[in-house]
Amino acid sequence: MAEQRRPLVSHIFTADPSAHVFNDKIYVYPSHDLAHEGEDNDNGDEYLMEDYHVLSLDNLEAECVDNGEALHMKDVPWVSKQMWAPDVAYKNGTYYLYFPARDKDGIFRIGVATSDSPVGPFKAQENYMQGTFSIDPAVFIDDDGRAYMYNGGLWGGQLEKWKTGSFDPNGGENAPDEPEVGPMVGELRDDMLELKGSYEHIKIVDENGVELRAGDEDRRYFEDPWMHKYNGKYYFSYSTGTTHYLVYAVGDSPVGPFTYQGRILEPVLGWTTHHSIVEYHGKWYLFYHDCELSNGINHRRNVKYTELNYREDGSIITIEPYK
């Protein structure tokens, strides 16, 4: 079964799917959109998510199961609101749930919670991961066992407010002809609970090796990092935000630099686009969201998936979501 392209579940609104294969089953870790009548704005105030549900598929022809609430903000001491797009990694016999949320000062941080089951419940650490900021954590464990966390998002995700190394509430994007305010990567400690050191800036370059410009909105990084490995190459994919593309860049190291290659997915219904890529039984799949169930209401999204295909040279064939 190659094509799904219909909402995985319809009884709740889900978005930002991080898909993984554990024990030969597919587990999807989305954010959970709550219906409300609040304002849509560039700060993301319409996204008032409070908890996480874990979805699972015994196989790609099975019914998707909602395994219930795995973590709620009331059980995380440092969180004030907005538990946005999460990810999960498995190591040391433990499942680690990484999630962004605003701390008591309104600053986005990354937290981590643990469980001995892929569906939870997860128990959060008392505090956020030290030295972390912004949103959209994605954790990649390389073949050598080293683990890396990628994250960062502009605007509501506050990434541009950290250009000086500390939080500047008035910080803004770079000028259009300056290098982009790009994503961050940090290697995790062996216990997976903290960064081993500090963040590094990820460099995404064009075909001439020049770092992408902030004004290059068709290609520059906005949010939603994801890492997967294909034929020995590292594929760093992300959302362009304002132009609504999912795109990718390829490199020889998990920390870059990465050379921009092209688009994975054309725009979907709704403002945001957010994804993950996973291999299952020898084929590759793209998990993403749109606003089909809500007829375009941005904070009421639904998760879907479709098959992802590569050409012989390793390039990804662009997906048209509604064809």
Nearest to 84 by CA among 39, 31, 28, 36: 31
Nearest to 302 by CA among 56, 9, 87, 64: 9
Please compute Rg for the chain using Cα positions: 18
Distance in angstroms (rounded) separating the CA atoms of residues 69 and 64: 15
Distance in angstroms (rounded) separating the CA atoms of residues 28 and 148: 20
What does the DSSP 8-state code read for residue 310?
B
CA dist 42 → 29, 104, 158, 241, 289 (Å): 24, 21, 11, 11, 19
Active-site residue identified among 136, 223, 224, 292: 223
Residue that the structure tokens 């995700």 belong to = 157
Is 16 an annotated catalytic residue?
Answer: yes
Is 45 an annotated catalytic residue?
Answer: no
Distance in angstroms (rounded) separating the CA atoms of residues 69 and 53: 5
Distance in angstroms (rounded) separating the CA atoms of residues 208 and 168: 33
How many residues comprise the chain?
A: 323
Q: Are 177 and 213 in contact (CB under 8 A)?
A: yes
| Strand order across the beta sheet in which 94-102 lies | 87-91, 94-102, 108-115, 123-124
Catalytic site positions: 16, 223
